[in-house]
Amino acid sequence: MFSFFKKKPAPTPAQPAAAAPATPAVPDVPSAPPAAIAPAQQAAAAPAPWPEPASTTAPPAAPMAPPAASGGLGWLRNPFAAKPPVPAPQASPLGAPPPATVPVSAPEPTPAPPVVVVAAKPIAVTAPPLPAAPSPSPSPAAEPPTPAERTGWLNRLKAGLRKTGSSIATVFTGTQIDDALYEELEEALLLADTGVKATQWLLTDLKRRVKETKTTDPAAVKGLLADALADLLRPLEKALVIGEHTPTVIMVAGVNGAGKTTSIGKLTRHLANEGASVLLAAADTFRAAAREQLGVWADRNTVEIVSQEGGDPAAVSFDAVTAGKARGKDVVLVDTAGRLPTQLHLMEELKKIRRVVTKADATAPHEVLLVIDGNTGQNALAQVRSFDDALQLTGLIVTKLDGTAKGGVLAAIAQERPIPVYFIGVGEKLEDLETFNAREFAQALLT
Ligand SMILES: Nc1nc2c(ncn2[C@@H]2O[C@H](COP(=O)(O)OP(=O)(O)OP(=O)(O)O)[C@@H](O)[C@H]2O)c(=O)[nH]1
């Protein structure tokens, strides 16, 4: 897993710390007392100064790992670009009561270096694709074999999506390609929560493919549908980039119980396994259980966590990003409390968290992810729209695709709000979170 993930690149020259002129009365300034930052085991301990001096000197760059040919999160990517200059360590506001003028300034936009991937060797980052399904359509190119690890995942994906796929697959058991087949298929796609637009798009595309290839066997139409679905889903494939910023700040949102904390835990584990330093921000400050749950993941992964009971989620996020910067963490993951898009005040709170994170680091958040429960079908699309409008999402994690009959919702998302799907979850276990690959998904769905 994550075999491509690199350690920190070579040290970069420090630049003068972004001047933080104390600007009183900035509305978003976190006003809560500083959050506790502690190694996971001490998460409950009283706020303490940094246990170790902040260091911005990165260790020497690790040797290049081989490109992502293995399974695992094979196309999460660290471009290993020269990191932007790391700001000189600043006195962290953590562990000491904030001064009257809070150390958050109205963002004096720090001229961020242009995001140019200047890695010595850019890395191939696409997940190893599956061999193309047998279909009468011309195969674009010979595809490499699927590694064993990825095959294991695919089997789990197929098992998870069987409920969705079986009703679609039965459409192709007849002997003729006629209107009845297309009508049945339309119904099956709609039942799988593919949505009206995506269903129409797929049917039109499929009919074209059938005509062009002069297909007469209904069983072969299934292969053509897999091709059409893969093409529709392809815009959702994108690599999550780690390493362009220190830290890469990832904010995670979603409705209650969507699987945010579990997904963060899984992702943390993968990152930690690859040697990335991760800091978790428990920005769900209201629900004790949520903090504890994140604390357990932090413990398991021996990463640090910033948490604060009953505090301001924006303040916790600010502290975490500041801490992540000061300590040269690779990734800061901000776990927010679940909320419905209709809870407008809570949506405002999310926007505030986003703004405050930007005050801690003018380039952050680098990713704003929405976690959606694949079981919620078309409602997931509504969530994507609402959270995207509020937060300008950069990516999705779709969980609980195991055992759902609504796996078609990804097609609806691709059609109506094509936000990249960085990961999909098909179970509660660590290995059940994987990168999204359009062809794999299409084939698993129709197997
Ligand atoms: N079957 C299945 N269960 C999952 C998956 N991802 C998460 N879960 C389960 O979903 C439940 C809720 O997950 P959480 O991670 O607590 O969800 P959350 O979004 O953080 O919840 P709140 O903090 O309450 O908003 C837990 O029981 C998880 O084990 C998945 O991919 N498949």
Nearest ligand 1 atom to alpha carbon 403: 1
- Rounded to 5 degrees, φ, ψ at 68 are -75, 75
- Residue 254 tokens read as 């979603």
335 in a known ligand binding site: yes
Residue 257 known to bind ligand: yes
Confidence category of residue 241, pLDDT binned at 50, 70, 90:
confident
The Cα–Cα gap between 123 and 68 comes to: 8
Q: Once rounded to an integer, what is the mean pLDDT over residues 239-268?
A: 93
Give the up-direction half-sphere exposure of residue 162: CA atoms within 13 A in the CB hemisphere: 7
User: Is residue 216 scored above 80 in pLDDT?
Assistant: yes
156 ligand 1 Cβ < 6 A? no
| Centroid of ligand 1 to alpha carbon of 199 (angstroms) | 29
The answer on pLDDT for 377 being more than 90 is: no
Contact 190, 196 (CB under 8 A): yes
pLDDT average, residue stretch 414-430: 91
Q: Between residues 293 and 424, which one has the greater pLDDT?
A: 424
pLDDT at 28: 55
Is the pLDDT higher at 179 or at 44? 179
> Which residues, in sequence order, are CB contacts of 247 under 8 Å at separation 6+?
279, 321, 324, 325, 328, 329, 330, 331, 332
Mean pLDDT of the residues in the chain: 73
Extract the tokens encoding 335: 């776990």
Average pLDDT over residues 280-294: 84
* pLDDT at 143 (0 to 100): 52
Question: Which of ligand 1's atoms lies nearest the C-alpha of 289?
Answer: 23
* Shortest-distance Cα residue to atom 14 of ligand 1: 259
Q: Are 10 and 86 in contact (CB under 8 A)?
A: no
Which residue in 308, 309, 285, 307 sits closest to 297, CA to CA?
307
Highest mean pLDDT: which range of 12-16, 222-226, 294-298: 222-226
Of 434 and 1, the one with more pLDDT: 434
Give me the pLDDT at residue 146, please: 64
Which is the closest atom of ligand 1 to the Cα of 265? 15
Quote the tokens at residue 89: 């360590």
254 labeled binding residue = yes
Give the model confidence (pLDDT) of 352-374 as tens digits: 999 999 999 999 999 999 999 99
Distance 37 CA to ligand 1 centre (A): 25
- For residue 290, the ligand 1 atom closest to its alpha carbon is 23
Which two structure tokens, joined as six digits, stand for 196?
Answer: 């009206």
pTM of structure: 0.74
Closest by Cα among 164, 175, 81, 176 to 123: 81
**Percent with pLDDT over 70 in the chain:** 67
Q: Is 165 in the pocket of ligand 1 (CB under 6 A)?
A: no
Tokens of 293: 């749950």
* 338 is annotated as contributing to ligand binding: yes
Give me the residues paired with residue 421 across strands. Answer: 396
Mean pLDDT of 339-350: 94
Question: DSSP string covering 167-228, please?
Answer: HHHGGGGSS--SHHHHHHHHHHHHHTT--HHHHHHHHHHHHHHHHHHT---HHHHHHHHHHH
Min mean pLDDT across 3-12, 265-274, 331-340 is at 3-12
CA of 263 to the centre of ligand 1 (A): 8
How is 351-379 classified by DSSP, letter by letter?
HHHHHHHHHH-TT--SEEEEEEEGGGTHH
- Does ligand 1 come within 6 angstroms of the Cβ of 258? yes
Q: Does residue 338's CB lie within 6 angstroms of at least one atom of ligand 1?
A: yes
Beta strands 304-307 and 421-425, pairing class: unpaired
Taking the CA of residue 262 as reference, the ligand 1 atom at the shortest distance is 15
Mean local confidence (pLDDT), 31-35: 47
Q: Is 429's C-beta closer than 6 angstroms to any atom of ligand 1?
A: no
pLDDT of residue 42: 38
CA distance 305 to 316: 10
Q: Is 256 annotated as a binding residue?
A: yes
Number of Cβ atoms within 10 Å of the Cβ of 232? 22
How much is the pLDDT for 145? 56
The full set of domains in the chain, from first to last, is 147-236 (1.20.120.140), 248-437 (3.40.50.300)
Mean pLDDT value of segment 91-99: 35
Q: Is the pLDDT of residue 253 over 80?
A: yes
Tell me the β-bridge partners of 305.
Answer: 38, 280
| Atom number of ligand 1 nearest to Cα 433 | 31
pLDDT digits (tens, 9 = 90+) for 436-446: 999 999 998 88
Confidence of residue 163 (pLDDT cuts 50, 70, 90): confident
pLDDT band at 69 (very low <50, low <70, confident <90, very high): very low
Residue 234 has pLDDT above 90, yes or no: yes
Reply yes or no on whether the pLDDT at 203 is more than 90: yes
Residue the block writes with tokens 């697959």: 169
Pair of tokens at residue 222: 């299934």
Residue 131 is predicted with a pLDDT of 38
The residue that leads in pLDDT, 24 or 114, is 24
Q: What number of other Cβ atoms are within 10 A of residue 45's Cβ?
A: 11
Could you tell me whether strands 367-373 and 395-399 are parallel, antiparallel, or unpaired per DSSP bridges? parallel
In this prediction, the answer to ipTM > 0.90 reads yes
Q: In the Cβ-directed half-sphere of 425, how many Cα atoms lie within 13 Å?
A: 24
Give the pLDDT band (50/70/90) at residue 52. Answer: very low
For ligand 1, atom 10, which residue shows the shortest CA distance? 259
* Ligand 1 neighbour 254 (Cβ under 6 A): yes
Given a cut of 70, is residue 68 above it in pLDDT?
A: no
For ligand 1, mutation pick of 262, 383, 396 (most atoms within 8 Å of CB): 262
CA separation for the pair 424, 428 (Å, rounded): 11
Tell me which of 385 and 291 has the higher pLDDT: 385
For residue 247, whether the previous peptide bond is cis, meaning omega lies within 30 degrees of 0, is yes
Q: Does residue 261 have its Cβ closer than 6 Å to ligand 1?
A: yes
Instruction: Tell me: is residue 402 an annotated ligand-binding position.
Output: yes
The average pLDDT across 93-112 equals: 33
**What pLDDT sits at residue 168?**
86
Token pair, residue 47, equals 């706020």
